[in-house]
Amino acid sequence: MADAYDYDAIVVGSGMSGGWAAKELTERGLRTLVLEAGGPVDPRNDYVEHVQPWQMHYRGLGDRKRMQSEYPIQSRCYACDEIGHKFFVKDAENPYTTPADAPFNWLRGRQVGGRSIMWGRQVYRWSDLDFEANAKDGHGCDWPIRYRDVAPWYEYVERFIGVSGAREGLSQLPDGVFLPPMQMTAVEADARPRIMKAFGGERVLTIGRVGILTQNHNGRLACHYCGPCEKGCVTHSYFSSLAATLPAARATGRLTLLPNSVVAEVLYDPKRARARGVRVIDAITRHETVYTSRIVFLCASTIESVRLLLNSKNAQFPDGLANSSGTLGRFVMDHNFGSGAGGSHPGFRDKRTTGNRPNGIYIARFRNVKTQHPDFLRGYGFQGWSGRSGWDRGQWTKGYGADFKQSLIDDLGGWYFGGTGFGESLPREENRVTLDPEVRDKWGISAARIEVRWTDNERAMEKDMAKTMAEMLEAAGCKDVREDHGMNPPGHCIHEMGGARMSRTATEGVLNRWNQAWDVKNLFVTDGSCMASTACQNPSITYMALTARAAAHAVAAMKRNEV
Amino acid sequence: MERRDLLRAFASATALTLLPHKTLEAWSRVAANARSADGLSNAHMGLVRAIADTIIPRTDTPSATDVRVHGFVEVIVTEQWADTERAAFLAGLDAIDANALADARKPFMDLDPDARGKVIEALEDGSRDADPSKTYWRLKGLVVHGYFTSESIMKDVLMVQVMPGRFEGAAPVTIKKRPSKTLTPPSDDAMRHAEHAHG
């Protein structure tokens, strides 16, 4: 039978999820084709993390005119800057639409490695507080899985990618298998017990848990603390699919990876009620090819996978492939991100940092863990940063002349300390992705129309975030504490999730507990579109764990001839 | 004096002090015509250089113009900024000079170091939302950024290590050659954290 197919498995996308699908499927014996819409990335030539400001024409301040013409949306992301823009899509080639009153920042990278090249690297396990949230308050459908289903896969992923962090024993933020934690700054280490004491032990400040190596691990080198991971890493010290999962897949001899391959459609065989392959447009020549396989994994990213399923509608599925439930494209979410507080710290003038830590501190969720907050459901965590202001302050502080210059060289300036909230948003049927009836991308494929709005729950949470961060900074001894009410539009957190959610029944969602389409047994969707809620933790490790878990299930099911 | 002679003279900052003051009035008329659509005129460039070296003069380390901060300022103003921003900035430079003329009876470039310092102090005490102080702070930001991101300052003065190899969160601060006299801890530090936010 195998000869009837070009490949055993096709994986659409080569990023965070696609890399894991490639690794697991090839290591379990499947001849696997990975299709990546973007071009190849060669770390030796393409990574730019060591480029210094003086080597840039605008010294890191950016080519604003080019950003406005080519990257007007993508450049809203901090990482899409003077030299980092190469890892982001050109907006004109990749259009999407929104209602005028519902802006959505869809921030994307199309290249081998996807957004794992410039991800934020923060890695946090979910807990049952998260997997049970929908069932408890009735928003969204109940997750068909619980922490115990994912926990061994979290560990499996952590052991492979390498996660540095500190164990805290928190039920809402389960510990993982950690490499040694990065150091806190003097201010952060001092703040931890002060905040603990001020809030009855409820608010725990810990070092960020990151997919960055603090010691050599699985053939990759320990971090050398240059700083800007989002511009690449020649030592492969932060996890990316390019650095770790794709090489592992290649080592099996069963991987075929085709860059510049835009998947336009998942092809469906109505007689067998199975996906039979994909139709691919060459991104450069526009030549069309069909590839067939026994199973198909969609790992194209949340909105791209939803868009692909909607574009794969056929006679049996007129509203989008695998959409008998009518939920495809619905319940799209993002983290409610951007509010917090900042301040200066008058102490520790005799202490400094050395090296550039590509990580900050994390404050675990404390709202709605034990007691119910009167104003909102669910919770939020904080990522925070501290450091000394350095010569930067010379740009806005008074002074001139020899002493001024020398002070900027010698005196590191005061400490700043602040944090930004990442809040769980509620799953809502109205928040959805559809196809724009008119707009098409560079390859003639219907563009996504995204309609996602915050609600009163997110707005109430946002207010609380700024207040609680400010009071924690006060407790830590900060001065000039200022609340930041910087609620960003949906999408800006780049944690977009949902649209093809997992569910307990075929009528409630698109995917079953194994990320397998209810309607199409050999079709799996394992990127962020599978998520039935957002929790407040950064989601990448959950995508990775669910992908590895789904791949193991898929191969076992193939061996039992179930798919 | 011919226009091209003026241009030649103004091309070098050191030549400024040799020019008789009355020719500067002539220069201001010429400069109005000499200003190109998308570059800084020599007059504006001279003012930028003079302000930059007043903020960051030459000591045992280079001055702002020693590391060509004025070239960086020109790149930003002429290539990065929109036409309206550039026009506002150039008008602001003119306002700075007009202020110097009014207060010190000379254009900024003709003032001695003490007088230049007084003009800077007045600019720093003025409202940051209105010219000439608004333009001054914009320029100062570029001067400081350009200076500390230049190759020689990063390498030889700050001794920045591209690959430090380790991170320490609470390392001791080593003894300084000279104590800081002019700075107090800036309250604007609070604003810094927002720039580090990421998803």
Q: What is the pLDDT of residues A9-49, one digit of tens each?
A: 999 999 999 999 999 999 999 999 999 999 999 999 999 99
* B111 Cβ under 8 Å from any chain A Cβ: no
For residue B30, the model assigns a pLDDT of: 41
Average pLDDT of the residues in A334-338: 96
Give the strand pairing for A523-525 and A288-298: parallel
- Domains: count for chain B: 1
* B80 Cβ under 8 Å from any chain A Cβ: yes
- Contact, A74 vs A108, CB < 8 A? yes
- How many CA atoms, within 13 angstroms, populate the side-chain half-sphere of residue A326? 3
Q: How far apart are CA A493 and CA B138, in angstroms?
A: 30
Instruction: Dump the DSSP string for chain B.
Output: --HHHHHHHHTSGGGGGGS-HHHHHHHHHHHHHH--SSS--HHHHHHHHHHHHHHS--SSS--TGGGTHHHHHHHIIIIIS-HHHHHHHHHHHHHHHHHHHHHHSS-GGGS-HHHHHHHHHHHHHS-TTSTTHHHHHHHHHHHHHHHHTSHHIIIIIS---SS----EEEEEPPPPSS---S----GGGGGHHHHT---
Label residue B191 by pLDDT band (50, 70, 90). very low
DSSP label at A548?
A: H
Residues of B in contact with A188 (CB under 8 A): 169
Two structure tokens written together for B198: 């990421």
Label residue A130 by pLDDT band (50, 70, 90). very high
Two structure tokens written together for B93: 């430079």
Q: How many residues does chain A have?
A: 563
pLDDT above 50 (res B190): no
The average confidence (pLDDT) of chain B is 77
Alpha-carbon gap: B145 to the closest alpha carbon of chain A (Å): 7
Q: Which helix (H) or strand (E) holds A63?
A: none
Label residue B184 by pLDDT band (50, 70, 90). very low
Q: How far apart are CA A471 and CA A473, in angstroms?
A: 5
Q: How far apart are CA A177 and CA A186, in angstroms?
A: 26
Residues of A in contact with B121 (CB under 8 A): 400
Percent of chain A residues past pLDDT 90, beyond the cut: 99
Average pLDDT of the residues in A404-415: 96
Locate the chain B residue with the closest alpha carbon to A386: B193
Alpha-carbon gap: B7 to the closest alpha carbon of chain A (Å): 27
Q: Is residue B178 part of a domain?
A: no
Task: List, for residues A476-492, the tens digit of each pLDDT value.
Answer: 999 999 999 988 999 99
Q: How far apart are CA A103 and CA A97, in angstroms?
A: 9
Q: Is residue B174 part of a domain?
A: no
The average confidence (pLDDT) of chain A is 97
pLDDT above 50 (res A259): yes
Two structure tokens written together for B46: 């001279």
Residues of B in contact with A479 (CB under 8 A): 187
Residues of B in contact with A339 (CB under 8 A): none
Label residue B175 by pLDDT band (50, 70, 90). low
Contact A351 B144 (CB under 8 A): no
Q: Is residue B191 part of a domain?
A: no
* B159 Cβ under 8 Å from any chain A Cβ: no
Contact A407 B181 (CB under 8 A): yes
Task: List, for residues A353-398, the tens digit of each pLDDT value.
Answer: 999 999 999 999 999 999 999 999 999 999 999 999 999 999 999 9
Q: How far apart are CA A86 and CA A38, in angstroms?
A: 11
Two structure tokens written together for A14: 């080569």
- Per-residue burial over A246-276, b = 16 or more CB atoms within 10 Å of its CB, e = otherwise: bbbbbebebbbbbbbbbbbbbbbeeeeebbb
Please report the residues numbered 221 through 260 in chain A whose beta carbons come closer than 8 angstroms to any beta carbon of chain B. Answer: 223-226, 230
* A360 Cβ under 8 Å from any chain B Cβ: yes
Residues of B in contact with A344 (CB under 8 A): 185-187, 189-190
- If one counts every other C-beta atom within 10 angstroms of the C-beta of residue A350, the result is 10
Residue with tokens 């936010």: B197
Contact B177 A410 (CB under 8 A): yes
Range of the domain at B140: 3-163
Contact A480 B169 (CB under 8 A): no
Q: How far is CA B22 from the centre of its chain?
A: 25
For residue B104, the model assigns a pLDDT of: 86
pLDDT above 90 (res B13): no
Give the strand pairing for A446-451 and A205-207: unpaired
Two structure tokens written together for B98: 């007009």
Contact B166 A484 (CB under 8 A): no
Alpha-carbon gap: A469 to the closest alpha carbon of chain B (Å): 13
Label residue B137 by pLDDT band (50, 70, 90). very high
* A361 Cβ under 8 Å from any chain B Cβ: no
Q: Is residue B182 part of a domain?
A: no
Angle A38-A262-A490 (CA atoms, 0-180°, nearest 5)? Answer: 70
Contact B59 A384 (CB under 8 A): no
Average pLDDT of the residues in A535-543: 98
* B175 Cβ under 8 Å from any chain A Cβ: no
Instruction: Give the residue from A489, A218, A157, A226 showing the smallest Cα distance to A334.
Output: A489
Say which residues have a Cβ less than 8 Å from residue B138's Cβ, sequence separation at least 6.
B89, B92
For residue B196, the model assigns a pLDDT of: 40
Label residue B185 by pLDDT band (50, 70, 90). very low
CA-CA-CA-CA torsion sign (A193, A199, A201, A202): negative
Q: How far is CA A359 from the centre of its chain?
A: 15
Residues of A in contact with B171 (CB under 8 A): 351-354
Please report the residues numbered 3 through 42 in chain B whose beta carbons come closer than 8 angstroms to any beta carbon of chain A. Answer: none
Cis amide linkage into residue A489, ω under 30° from 0: no
* B137 Cβ under 8 Å from any chain A Cβ: yes
* A438 Cβ under 8 Å from any chain B Cβ: no
Chain B interface mutation, best of A80, A192, A395, A415, highest count of B Cβ atoms under 10 Å: A395
Strand runs labelled E in A261-390: 261-269, 274-282, 288-298, 336-345, 351-354, 361-363, 380-388
Q: Is residue B171 part of a domain?
A: no
pLDDT above 60 (res B23): no
Alpha-carbon gap: A156 to the closest alpha carbon of chain B (Å): 24
Residue with tokens 């045992």: B60
- Contact, A264 vs A289, CB < 8 A? no
Label residue B108 by pLDDT band (50, 70, 90). very high
Contact B162 A407 (CB under 8 A): no
> Which fold, A1-126+145-161+239-326+431-451+496-563?
FAD/NAD(P)-binding domain (3.50.50)
